[in-house]
């Protein structure tokens, strides 16, 4: 069994950059949803009978749960693992 080798630093940076670019939209959406939920819950506290606000809060909570179940790393506060190891073919 061959041991994996660590790629050169420039390759690691490129892999890291590509990965960050691919997940950045998810992180932005998650943050936007959390901000909207915070604001909607604040509005709901002042007007607890408003059904539109109740349904909005429910929608936002469900959307956040969906993102957290599909991408568990998004709510942990830790970055997801980036596979830097490349199997050596030589």
CA distances from 7 to 32, 51, 53, 84 (A): 35, 55, 51, 7
Average pLDDT, the chain: 82
pLDDT average, residue stretch 28-34: 95
Examine residue 11 and state whether it is found in any structural domain, yes or no: no
Asked if residue 39 is part of any domain, the answer here is yes
Across the range 59-73, mean pLDDT stands at 93
Structural domain includes residue 42: yes
Cβ-proximal residues to 7 (8 Å cutoff; 6+ apart), any chain: 15, 84, 86
Position 88 pLDDT exceeds 50: no
Q: Which domain holds residue 54?
A: 26-74
pLDDT at position 68 over 70: yes
| Structural domains counted in the chain | 1
Report the C-alpha dihedral over residues 58, 62, 64, 65, rounded to 10 degrees.
Answer: 140
Flag whether 84 is in a domain: no
Cβ count within 10 A of residue 60: 20
The residue that leads in pLDDT, 26 or 90, is 26
31 inside domain: yes
The mean pLDDT of 80-90, rounded to a whole number, is 48
């Amino acid at each position: 069994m061959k041991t994996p080798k660590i790629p050169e630093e420039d390759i690691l940076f490129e892999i890291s950059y590509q990965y960050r670019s691919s997940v950045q939209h998810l992180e932005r959406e998650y943050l936007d949803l959390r901000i909207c939920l915070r604001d909607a819950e604040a509005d709901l506290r002042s007007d607890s009978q408003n059904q539109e606000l109740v349904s909005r809060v429910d929608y936002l909570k469900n959307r956040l749960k969906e993102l957290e179940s599909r991408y568990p790393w998004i709510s942990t506060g830790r970055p997801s693992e980036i596979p830097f190891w490349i199997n050596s073919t030589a």
